[in-house]
Structure 1
């Protein structure tokens, strides 16, 4: 999880459509009305999932209501309540369902309260951080292995005198920058930047 800055508002064409369908079930709203919103959220999040920070495929996304439609119907169309999540089974939005997160990607504290270790596991010193990691299932084997593979990709730039426990030092920032800039896929670059930020903060 990383901090997401909500910088905009619902795209005009989506807002008009929402007014028309406001009394309808969310799932009944045509995709062409949601599409501009989905794209804006995608751009706002640099193409990565709001929870696990893995790169989002254009088809493998869901518009996530941070506070659920069932419990907070008045926030169903509130832009500050809408994020873009992956659709990974038993993880992220799929695991969260209607549960309320005590620590969210809209809180500054998610940067400092959720940490990453060199095994690719997330941990937290706060109760709400631990609870949020558990609700979202962010430490399943698949996601930990993915994080570990990214860590291994850049481990040779770590300062060997400071690389046993995060925060770690970077002994070769120029090479790290070259690696980051070599990714042709910007979303994959943002994945790696997320890993670097969590390890070095």
Structure 2
């Protein structure tokens, strides 16, 4: 996960809510739902709120951090909505309506999850472990082999793009790691981050923290 800083809601959503304060998310016209999703994807720099793979308006859905049936008063609260990928049995579609103890709106989501170059992820805290399992983010290959493999392949490609073999990353000096870290945090011309780049950022932070 990568910390998401929620911005202002789309003006059209504000107008929709003013039209009738009894309306809920289910009452939104399709074009408004799409507008919300587009705004979420923009502030997420083109990445799924949970697994950090690339998403588009047509390959994602609007995800309520507090599920609609648990918080009916927040169904149109833009600060409660993020964009999640459409992959079955993971992220928003894997979670259902279960409560997430750790969300991408919390700064700790970047430090309580520990990623490995193998593509696996582990939780440093109990709430992180629970969140990983709820979202099926790949704490074992058996839990989500597809995501683990895709994550490893993309992270390897990001490392190779810096002319560094993935197996040698841990031996690189602090200056190169710091430069790579900064590069990974810069969006491209389309204001998108590289898919799974927050995973490699997490790994590099671990390497820099080693004595």
TM over 0.5: yes
Q: TM-score range by the shorter chain?
A: 0.7 to 0.9
Q: Is the 8 A contact 2:59 2:86 kept in 1?
A: yes
Q: Is the 8 A contact 2:47 2:195 kept in 1?
A: yes
TM-score (norm 1): 0.83
Question: What is the Cα-based RMSD across aligned positions, in Å?
Answer: 3.0
Within a 5 Å distance, the mapping from 1:116-135 to structure 2 comes to 116-135=115-134
Per the TM alignment, residue 191 of structure 1 is displaced from its structure 2 partner at its CA by: 1.7
Cα pair distance change 1:92/1:161, threshold 3 Å: closer
Q: Is the 8 A contact 2:94 2:135 kept in 1?
A: yes
1:160 aligns with 2:168: yes
1:77 aligns with 2:108: no
Q: Is the 8 A contact 2:101 2:130 kept in 1?
A: yes
Consecutive unaligned residues in structure 2, runs of 5 or more: 139-143, 206-211
Give the aligned length. Answer: 195
Consecutive unaligned residues in structure 1, runs of 5 or more: none
1:143 aligns with 2:147: yes
More deviation, 33-42/130-139 = 33-42
Q: Deviations over 1:21-41 (max 9, x none)?
A: 654553342112223322211
Per the TM alignment, residue 175 of structure 1 is displaced from its structure 2 partner at its CA by: 9.0
Per the TM alignment, residue 56 of structure 1 is displaced from its structure 2 partner at its CA by: 0.3
Cα pair distance change 1:22/1:92, threshold 3 Å: farther
User: Which residue number corresponds to residue 62 of structure 1?
Assistant: 61
Q: Deviations over 1:42-66 (max 9, x none)?
A: 1100011000101002211111110
1:191 aligns with 2:199: no
Q: How far apart, CA to CA, are the structure 2 residues paired with 1:109 and 1:175?
A: 23
Q: How far apart, CA to CA, are the structure 1 residues paired with 2:118 and 2:179?
A: 22
Q: What is the DSSP-based 3-state SS (H/G/I as helix, E as strand, rest coil) of the residue aligned with 2:45?
A: coil
Cα pair distance change 1:61/1:21, threshold 3 Å: farther
Cα pair distance change 1:24/1:199, threshold 3 Å: same
